[in-house]
Structure 1
């Protein structure tokens, strides 16, 4: 499961802009075969008085915390490609709009994850493909 936390100033994103970013995030992962329902994006508005960068209140900063659970990249080149692809994904929603942006990716152990009380099926398995087709967790 990719879980994205997007911390941003109030008013930085309209509902339409949030939906577009969530769609772009979802499409990124769907292209590599993850079920769409694996992808979650949470938007957190943070007042400048509670958001500091370098000890100064931030009025135009976006901080994104990405948690990868369903897939992990172990090869350094693959990790770099992932980082660069995600930077390109967020740029139209952040830096290209004049917002300072920083993100990082955490990788959580897959065996500590469940959906509706079901442990997700192995990566790229027929069961996972069924989850993707039905867009929901089903016993396997």
Structure 2
């Protein structure tokens, strides 16, 4: 599952802007076959006096922590491609709006993840495809 934590100053995103960012993030992953319900985007408002960049309070910084669980990639070129694709996805929501943006991706071990008490099916398996079609976890 991709889990996105978006830390931002209050008022940075309207509800509609949050929805559009979450839709863009979800689309990134569903294009590679992940079920929509795997993708979670959480928005965390942080007051400027609690959000410091370089030791200084910032009212224009966005920090994003992405947790990849459903897919890992050890190939350096593919990892670079993912990083660049996510930067391009984020630009309209951050840098093109004049916001400073930084993100990183963590890869959580797949064997430490369950959904509704069910271990996820193997990547690209028929069971995972069924989860994507149904958009929910189902026993397999």
Q: Same fold (TM over 0.5)?
A: yes
Q: Structure 2: where are the runs of 5+ without partners?
A: none
- Correspondence 1:115-130 to 2 at 5 A: 115-130=115-130
| Counterpart position of 2:79 | 79
| Counterpart position of 1:136 | 136
RMSD: 0.2
- Correspondence 1:81-96 to 2 at 5 A: 81-96=81-96
Q: Structure 1: where are the runs of 5+ without partners?
A: none
Instruction: Give the secondary-structure state (helix, strand or coil) at the position aligned to 2:71.
Output: coil
| Counterpart position of 2:100 | 100
Give the drift of 1:88.
Answer: 0.3
Distance 2:59 2:30 in 1: 33
Spell out, residue by residue over 1:46-83, the C-alpha distance to the aligned partner (whole angstroms, 9 max, x if none): 00010000000011000000000000010000000000
- Correspondence 1:2-13 to 2 at 5 A: 2-13=2-13
Distance 1:35 1:129 in 2: 8
Question: What is the TM-score normalised by the length of structure 2?
Answer: 1.00
| Counterpart position of 2:33 | 33
| Counterpart position of 1:70 | 70
Distance 2:9 2:137 in 1: 34
Distance 1:131 1:77 in 2: 29
Question: What is the TM-score normalised by the length of structure 1?
Answer: 1.00
Q: Count how many residue pairs are aligned between Structure 1 and Structure 2.
A: 140
Instruction: Give the secondary-structure state (helix, strand or coil) at the position aligned to 2:114.
Output: coil
| Counterpart position of 1:52 | 52
Distance 2:91 2:5 in 1: 16
